[in-house]
Amino acid sequence: MSIEATTIAPAGLLAEATRLKNDGYRFVTMSSVELDETNMEILYHFDRDLTLVNLRVPVEKGGKLPSLSGLIFGAFLVENEIRDQYALTFDGLVLDYQGKLYAETAQTAASSPFCKYAVKSAKKEA
């Protein structure tokens, strides 16, 4: 199975999502795909009249993407989920569970429970 998607840089994500929203598309969800030990893609899915438009955004594991939640509030939930599971962060997240979406005792983002490959984390020294 393959998915048709337009690849865009993280810097262009908010502009493209804004264009789609203004054109009458609704945000459906996001999918995360591990490519290798250091790279992932996040797929953003939008729908209008039963036609899906998909945006493919490459990102390094442990990297940052702009949050859609300021534009599309409902995106906060899947952004928090991807943060918990794959150690990505989202700049401007309007409701940030700080890596504890599922429970206060959830694993830290550095452990990335769904990653097939280890994610290097920069630990802050006290």
pLDDT digit string (tens) for 10-35? Answer: 999 999 999 999 999 999 999 999 89
What is the distance between the alpha carbons of residues 84 and 11, in angstroms, rounded to a whole number? 22
In tens, the pLDDT along 66-103 reads 999 999 999 999 999 888 888 889 999 987 767 666 65
What is the distance between the alpha carbons of residues 77 and 84, in angstroms, rounded to a whole number? 11
pLDDT at 110 > cutoff 60: no
pLDDT band at 4 (very low <50, low <70, confident <90, very high): confident
Structure-token pair, residue 24:
């009458």
- pTM, entire model: 0.79
